[in-house]
Each structure stands twice: as structure tokens, then as C-alpha cells.
Amino acid sequence: MTRLQNGQSFPALTVPAIGGGTIQIPGTLRGSYGVVLFNRGAWCPYCQAQLAGFQRASEKLAETGIKVVALSVDDEATTVGTIEKFKLSFPLGHSADADKVAAVTGAYTNETPRYLQATGFLLAPDGKILNAVYSSGPIGRLVAEDVVGMVAYLKSKA
């Protein structure tokens, strides 16, 4: 399994959206800087803290021109509960196929139960990867403040 590298185009992923339809990644983010977050599930306190942190930073992210999308293997009802609990305003995909996502992105997975380990990507407006953070366990992940800082720096150098 090959991990994605900076400068590569993020591969096409489609995950179910709440209430029907799908979330197309990176298409949903195209034209803006984008953050893609894979989380382990609603049971993981570190994942919940990361999602809540990105929600708390939503105004600053929007001001900086950054869109966020997240996904997990959780079913739709569990995902709705996470959205409601943290009042998430960014798209959160559900029922992701851990094996398919791992095959195209190189994300680490857990065997039993089967889920994706925390993985995060910062994408340029053209869908190319600016930063990839792969975690093989619960800690080590993108932080909203770091994303805002990196994009602000990149924009200042453009």
C-alpha cells in the first residue's frame, strides 16, 4: 500500500451523504483549499475532539478560504448523532468502505473491528496534496489552527 505524497492529486473518493446522495472528494472541495479527515468513529474521543476543533475553527477556516469534509465507517444514524452532538457544519460522510479508502489513499486500518485510522490531508484548490498526515493509531492528526496557519502562509507567498 502506497501512501499519498505531497504534490500528488488526491484520488477520487465517493462516500454516502446524510439523507441520501454522495460526497465527492476532492470534487466537493475543488476551487478552495480543502481538508479531508478520516476518523476512526464516534467511539473515539480523539476523533471527536478533532471534529469539534475543526467546527470551533469554522469561521477562521472560512475566512481563510478552507473547506472541510470528513468521513468514517460509522453508519448513517451514528454519523447523524456525531453531527448533532458537535453541531458540525461541514459534510460528514458515513459508511465508508475502509478497504477501498485505504487502497486508494494508503490510510492505515484496524483489523477487528474494521475501521480507518485517523488520516488527514490538506489540499490545494486544484486538488493536489499539500500535506498528508497518516496516523497508525489514535493520536497524530491534523489540527485546524495548523491548517489555517499553513494556508495563510502559502497565500502570503503567492
- Residue 5 lies inside a defined structural domain of this protein: no
- How far is residue 107's CA from residue 1's CA, in Å, rounded to a whole number? 9
CATH number at residue 45: 3.40.30.10
The stretch 135-146 carries a mean pLDDT of 95
CA-CA-CA-CA torsion for 64, 66, 56, 11, nearest 10 degrees? -160
Q: Give yes or no for residue 152 having a pLDDT over 80.
A: yes
- Residue 2 lies inside a defined structural domain of this protein: no
Whole-prediction pTM = 0.96
What percentage of the chain exceeds 70 in pLDDT?
Answer: 99
User: Is there a contact between 148 and 57 (Cβ–Cβ < 8 Å)?
Assistant: yes
- Residue 4 lies inside a defined structural domain of this protein: no
- State how many domains the chain has: 1
**Residue in the structure block whose three cell numbers are 500535506:** 131
Q: Are strands 119-123 and 129-134 parallel, antiparallel or unpaired?
A: antiparallel
Digit-coded pLDDT (tens) for 26-73: 999 999 999 999 999 999 999 999 999 999 999 999 999 999 999 999
Backbone angles phi, psi at 130, to 5 degrees: -95, -30
Instruction: Look up the domain containing 51 and give its range.
Output: 13-157
- Residue 116 lies inside a defined structural domain of this protein: yes
The pLDDT of residue 1 is 67
Q: Give yes or no for residue 8 having a pLDDT over 90.
A: yes
